[in-house]
Amino acid sequence: MRCSLRHAQGNVLFDTGCHPGGRRQIRSALGQTRATVMTPIMPPGEHVVNGLTGDRLSTDDIDVVVCSHLHPDHCGCNAFFKRATVIIHEKEIAAARAPDAETIGLSRAEWDLPVKIDAIGGERDLFGDGRIVLIPLPGHTPGTTGALGRSSRRAACSFCRPTP
């Protein structure tokens, strides 16, 4: 699931999702056998590149791509963000470069691209103001990363609003 965040210092995309080639792309990246356990379910044309238009953004408007982890259903469209800096946890990069990386679904073809990669080693306040903080959440993969976003506006969800 992708999430785009606008910040005064840049537009951030959290995960890029499956490549528009979907099954074909994953099959070529992981091989037929491994691809059978990782089959994307998405209608034709439903991918991050088209989805950004709903946010009135294009791939060139994204300054930072944060990869939660390097499974192809989370980083499959990284290649479309040529201008962005791609942030990946260093433990995820190490796991993805290991000889057995494909056994845990990490394919170098999906993430090792000619883009600027910023490897992080721990928690990172993306713009130094506490609005977007990247947090290591190892478990699913060695370098899984989450994001904590704080709005500049005070807002309450429908579950938090006091009842009259």
Give the tens place of pLDDT for each residue, 63-81.
Answer: 999 999 998 888 888 999 9
Residue 113 pLDDT greater than 50, yes or no: yes
Residue 92 pLDDT greater than 90, yes or no: yes
Is the distance from CB of 26 to CB of 33 less than 8 angstroms? no
28 — pLDDT class (breaks 50, 70, 90): low
Q: How large a percentage of the chain has pLDDT more than 70?
A: 76
For position 120, what pLDDT does the model report? 97
**Domains of the chain listed by start with CATH number:** 3-149 (3.60.15.10)
Q: How large a percentage of the chain has pLDDT more than 90?
A: 42
Secondary structure letter of residue 137 according to DSSP: -
Tell me the average pLDDT across 128-135.
94
- Tokens 């005064």 belong to 8
Residue 154 pLDDT greater than 50, yes or no: no
Q: Which residues lie below 8 Å from residue 146, measured CB to CB, with a gap of 6+?
A: 68, 134, 135, 137
Most confident of 5-14, 25-34, 149-158: 5-14
Residue 111 pLDDT greater than 90, yes or no: no
Instruction: State how far the Cα of 40 lies from the Cα of 36, in Å rounded to an integer.
Output: 10
62 — pLDDT class (breaks 50, 70, 90): very high
For position 31, what pLDDT does the model report? 53
Closest of 55, 42, 71, 46 to residue 13, by C-alpha: 55
For position 23, what pLDDT does the model report? 52
31 is written with which tokens?
A: 């091989």
